[in-house]
Amino acid sequence: MIPTGYSRRDFILSSAVALTTLHIAAAQQTQSSSAAPSPDIGPQPDSASGPAIDPHIIEDAERLAGITFTPAERQMMSHTIAEQVQMIRSRQKVSAFPNSLSPMFTFDPRLPGMSFSKPEFAPEWSQKDPGPIPTDDVDIAFAPLTSLSYWLRTRQISSERLTRIYLDRLKTIGPKLEAVITLTEDLAMGQARNADREIQGSRWRGPLHGVPWGAKDLLDTAGIATTWGAEPYRNRVPDQDASVVTLLANAGAVLVAKLSLGALAYDNIWFGGKTRNPWNLRQGPSGSSAGPAAATAAGLVGFSIGSETLGSIVSPCMRCGTTGLRPTFGRVSRGGAMALSWTMDKLGPITRTVEDAMMVLSAINNTARDPRDPASLAVPLRFRASTSARGLRVGYDPAWFKSDPANDLDRATLAQLSRTGVNLSEIELPDWPYDALLTILFCEAAAAFEDLTRTNLDDSLTWQEPQAWPNTFRQSWFIPGIELIQAFRFRRQVCQMMADLFSAYKIDAIIAPSFAASLLTITNNTGHPSLTLRTGFLQDSSDEPETPHGITLIGNLFDEATLCRIGMELEHQLQVWNRRPSLV
């Protein structure tokens, strides 16, 4: 759920309590093996809570926690802080919590007074006839969902044949990309044959009926391994499908593969290798939805489901040239999905076109709150493909387009958008320390995988660089609890700021280079939806092939429809979505 190469600024991380716990453990171990007193043990307190802490240990911890106390204050704490340590250690005696156990609090992106109860109507899709089905299987494999759905519904192709096309490509091209963790061939053929029987019997479940898809391998599949891409879980087999998997089965979609992700949803390195970009096999597709983006771009699946906590749909879609729709937080249930951050994780579609993404979102949108995901919300999804985006107001900051990471293609895309009938409006974000919000992700991720850190199973993960999860999990133990609470309070300020921004500027969406300013951090914390789509191609050097480039639109809460109306206009103007990678 974290993209490859995301820049993390240096943080002052730690807490006096956590650091003191380490010193106490070391002191107690020394006491049990030797009669000599430990220099870390001071005078015994009157209570039976344990040894007092040398004030110098507290002073050392202050430098990590970013706070200063007087000598008298340290002396007083030295006789009482052991009680706090004992409280922490008593909780640690509880057996390890399952990853699916969420904290007794939830994040809701809706601020007081917000309402999303407009009348609901069924989504309406494009009705254009895509023409007769191609004779070449490759042309079929790269077709958008709008075409695949039409050919299946009109029985120009069977789901069984379409499924075999994708399974063959997964078997032959998948290994080159290292994008497939588990083929689900038996399940897929059973679902495809059932889809054919239903379609022939005039039972049409909707636009995904009979379409093969791939799941990021953090979505549980009953009786089929769900590995989270990580060595400690490679033999993990759940007994229940994730909620999204169930919804797609109900929509008649055919699951053909569990696709790769960077271990525990970061980067593109997993226990079986390193996923490759189909446009340039020397390059990774970014992460962590590496397999879904690569497989969709390479025509190995009709669509895929990825996840994002901090850029893991946006980043690989940028690299692979796919369309990524990150829904509003709460719109899609995460029941049965690996938790990295309970208040930030989101599931969303990765497709070849914008309308395709809305088709998938319509199938996985919550129609009721899911008891498996306390943060799930039931908000109607309204979309008409025929509705023009003309007259909508899209905000942007000119500064975002003037310097890195913006490039000439981003600036050309902005100019192109202005020619679609959309009105551009200049906006400006407050200059706030948005990186402080990363405290939330680091703490929640370290808690989600506490057992790996405590048992040293984190050492079994292939990626062991300073920016990799094992090191981040360890150092996050030293983030003060008070700083976590303050980060959540700051998060509410940022949520209010975004609500005020949309209201004050009267904008319907925002456009920006995908990694501009702190928008990725801001919107993943506020829960706003985003749409990333291909805008053209770039070439890093003369000896490297061209690779796709994209841009990101950010919508108002639960307004994915407006976001995609703008995206469809831009996609139509640019006419670059259908170019295929030559390497596959």
| Bridge pairing between strands 254-259 and 509-512 | unpaired
Q: What is the DSSP string of 142-155?
A: T--HHHHHHHHHTT
Q: Which of 261, 259, 363, 244 shows the shortest CA–CA distance to 312? A: 261
What are the start-end ranges of the E strands in 487-562?
Answer: 509-512, 530-538, 547-555
Cα(92)–Cα(67) distance, integer angstroms: 26
Cα(198)–Cα(204) distance, integer angstroms: 7
Question: Cis omega (within 30 of 0) on the bond before 333?
Answer: no
Cα(124)–Cα(310) distance, integer angstroms: 31
Cα(19)–Cα(577) distance, integer angstroms: 52
Find the catalytic residue in 158, 288, 304, 333: 288
149 part of the active site: no
CB–CB of 528/114 below 8 Å?
A: no
Upper half-sphere CA count for residue 320 (Cβ side, 13 Å): 39
Tokens of 224: 């089929």
CB–CB of 487/466 below 8 Å?
A: no
346 part of the active site: no
Q: Which of 510, 487, 516 shows the shortest CA–CA distance to 557? A: 510
Q: How far is CA 275 from the centre of its chain?
A: 17
32 part of the active site: no
Residue linked to tokens 């038996």: 186
Q: Which of 298, 242, 232 shows the shortest CA–CA distance to 264? A: 232
Find the catalytic residue in 78, 147, 216, 315: 216
Tokens of 138: 């490759």
Find the catalytic residue in 149, 260, 312, 514: 312
User: Which residues have a catalytic role annotated?
Assistant: 216, 288, 312
